[in-house]
Amino acid sequence: MRTNRIVVAFVACLVLATWAKARPLQGEPQARARLRENINTLRLLRMTEALDLTEEQAAKLFPAMNRIEKDKADLQRRLGVEIRDLRRALDKSPVQDADVLALVRRVKEIRQSIRQKDEEFESLLEENLTPVQKGRYLVFLVDFARGLGEKLNRARQIRGKISGRS
């Protein structure tokens, strides 16, 4: 258990360091991809600990979870491009209804694909977790999101203090 905590703390530091390093390169896709990958790794490690996954469960879940997350990241990138194009189409004068409708349709399709990936992940968990683990997973989701948000806010505050001194 102590080893798990050390590994989790190390990965958390790695995630925060990557985030801080990637911050000035916000638009750089590689930096964002690394950050997303590190957060997913941290999530998997914490999830393993919180749900007390067996090796068999981890062997079934992790490859599928990684694939689903990569697919979702690709969809998110596509969604960003489509939203940017939609903004441009809406800024044109006069606005072309046909162009806007086509972009709206593509945005909705991508959002639906993301929801399907989330449902695929939920089905995967449903098939492979015990009832107790399913309950722990719901609690884990809330705790992980809250904890990650707090850590990122602290890192931003520290970064702001450091930037203010320079």
Mean pLDDT of the 77-101 span = 94
Q: How far apart are CA 32 and CA 25, in angstroms?
A: 8
**Does residue 39 contact residue 14 with C-beta atoms inside 8 Å?**
no
Give the range with max mean pLDDT: 18-27, 37-46, 119-128, 154-163: 119-128
Q: How far apart are CA 89 and CA 96, in angstroms?
A: 7
Q: How far apart are CA 131 and CA 124, in angstroms?
A: 14
Q: How far apart are CA 162 and CA 156, in angstroms?
A: 10
Work out the mean pLDDT of the chain and round it to a whole number.
84
Q: How far apart are CA 106 and CA 84, in angstroms?
A: 12
Question: pTM for the whole thing?
Answer: 0.70
Instruction: Give the tens place of pLDDT for each residue, 54-88.
Output: 999 999 999 999 999 999 999 999 999 999 999 99
Q: How far apart are CA 151 and CA 15, in angstroms?
A: 10
Instruction: Give the tens place of pLDDT for each residue, 138-150.
Output: 999 999 999 988 8
H or E stretch including 1?
none
Q: How far apart are CA 7 and CA 17, in angstroms?
A: 15
| SS3 assignment, position 156 | helix
